[in-house]
A and B are shown apart, each in its own frame.
Chain A
Amino acid sequence: MIEIKNLNKKIGTFQLKDININIKKGEYFVILGPSGTGKTMLLETIAGLRKINSGEIYFSNKLVNEIEPEHRKVGMVYQEYMLFPHMTVKENILFGAKLNAIENKEDKLKKLIRDLSIENLTHRSIRNLSGGEKQRVALARTLMTEPEILLLDEPLSALDSHTKRKVEDQLKKIHERYKMTTLHVTHDFNEAIHLADRIAIIDKGEVIQLGKPDEIFQKPKNTLVASFLGCRNLFKGNADTKNTILVNDALKIYALAETKGEVSFMIPSENIILSLDPIHSSAKNSFKGRVIAINKKVSIVEVTVDIGVNLVVYITYSSFNKMSIEINKEIYVTFKATSVHIF
């Protein structure tokens, strides 16, 4: 559906470099990256709002480089919604429909406002709407023009966490109902996991990694991706040929190391087992340590154990209570050599 080939775009000192992305028809594709990495710029080049320096953009195998935004059949929703302040909600929603000579405008309007639960807002001024309401009106305004591609620029960033989750669910439902190819830009990896069929991680204008959410979260390509995704337990050590990594010249960790010399590696927190006694199992890594920090989250507890390096382990509240974990308690950590992800 969308094929981006060797796209380059330079503004001042910032540059989008050799972007290559293929997005399938009906796919929910998320571009994930920290702020200021060119995500919005990429969306705007796809929408035709910015001319590119080189490369090609195809929609359904048709080159669209020279096509003006109003003829690309793309819909764009910005983080700030950009609802026209001199129009009512209804006028906003119908703005594009009037320009595009959409058939059965009134029927479509009724259906859309029902789908987005904004029936009671249509005659209101946009000034008095809440963030969530503005978001839905902006979405309705875009969907009213029946775009083939929906571009969402940080659409949930301005919302509080409760509204955000609700709108996320609504976005998912809308996507399932309208089956529109969607490109969603965000810096929030939870949002990406929840919504995306596939994710592209972008940093400093370059695509660093592209794949399904599970693949990316399980095997981040490098420490930069891993740290951006919020992965813990990122370490450096010396790998030797015996499939071991020596950390700080003292701690020996078993891993499937294929390279020799200094390596960066990650041990996913959810793959580590905590126990009060040593476990005799096939897992080759088992260490005795001491609890040095306890961080209670909504559904899990983060326990930091000093085993020579500080290892963060996620456990449930029931395990936490059952094991009576407290600061300075001696405890065992166990994980398999295959759980050690070397970059």
Chain B
Amino acid sequence: MTITKGDQMKNNTFKLLMLSISIILLMFLTIPILKMFTHSTLDIFYQSAMEKEVITSIFLTLRASFVATLLTIFLGVPLAYSLSRYKFPGKFIIESIINIPLIIPHTAAGIALLTVFGDQFIGGRFFSYFGISFTGNFAGIVIAMMFVSMPFLINETKEGFNKIDEKYEKVARTLGASPLQSFLKIVLPMNKNHILSGALMMWARGISEFGAVLVLAYHPMTAPVLIYERFTSYGLKYSVPVAGIMIIITTVIFTLLKVFQKKDVLDDRN
């Protein structure tokens, strides 16, 4: 079969049409982000970046999301493994529940958490014995971030476990490993890249969380809350630099994530 000049022209027109439509959405995405860096003067940008309140809030955000991610690795990896390996009634329901934070308004998630971990409620009262209070505290920020961003870690980790043939564990068992040993020495290291990329996704999503954090802990102020506060109190000009810094940080994390995902694809091919 030969390709005629007419066919080639049709192909090129189609390509041009698809690219033109794509550009509209890409512009919609990139222009506001770029505008953020040109809207404010470099001087205000620098001053904001050096402000103690801004630095504190950014580090608080990074730290809280990091703790939330660590806790979810500890609690979520066994959950992801169970969902990947075991068959049990209601599994489908549990998988749906895990994804609930992705679809409900995050302020609603904050309210839901407050009804359990608020100082006067059961969870709040229980943790108060250990000196932990959630409302208006670091712990509150952590659980708010954890609640809304854990689906990213759990789903990615589960996907990774699904890719690992159960026969690896079976061989490990016949070689003398207990179920725990075969999990720790074989399955977990084999799923390292998926866990890491899930953790990075969760960390980045946690950093960006606003709604749930706002309800549980307006103070100490995380970066997204600070952006909101600067905007409502001082206007656009003073909220833009903090927002710009946050965008830079999350972009770096996202680039790291892509590196891991690429590595994982290469590993899978080998």
Contact = CB atoms under 8 A, between A and B. Distances in A.
A80 B174 CA distance: 16
Given A84-B168, A86-B189, A69 B270 contact: no
Given A84-B190, A85-B267, A86-B189, A99 B176 contact: yes
A69 B190 CA distance: 22
B88 to A, nearest CB: 16
B176 A145 contact: yes
Interface of A: 44, 47-49, 68-70, 72, 74-76, 78, 80, 82, 84-86, 95-96, 99-100, 127, 141-142, 145, 147, 151
Contacts of B178: 68, 70
Contacts, number: 67
Q: Max chain A CB contacts within 10 Å: which of B167, B189, B270?
A: B167
10 contacts: A70-B175, A72-B174, A78-B167, A78-B171, A82-B165, A95-B172, A95-B175, A95-B177, A99-B177, A142-B175
| Contact residues of B: prevailing secondary structure | helix
A49 B172 CA distance: 11
B170 interface: yes
B176 A70 contact: yes
Contact of A100 (B173, B176, B267, B270): B176
Contacts of A142: 174-175
Contact of B170 (A76, A84, A85, A86): A76
Contacts of B170: 44, 47, 49, 69, 76, 78, 82
A48 B181 CA distance: 17
Q: Max chain B CB contacts within 10 Å: which of A44, A74, A78, A84?
A: A84
Interface string B147-181: 00000000000000000010110111111111001
Given A76-B171, A80-B167, A127 B270 contact: yes
B186 to A, nearest CB: 6
A-B CB proximity, top 7 nearest: A96-B175, A99-B176, A69-B173, A76-B174, A127-B270, A100-B176, A82-B171
Contacts of A127: 270
Contacts of A84: 168, 172, 186, 190
A71 to B, nearest CB: 8
B174 A85 contact: no
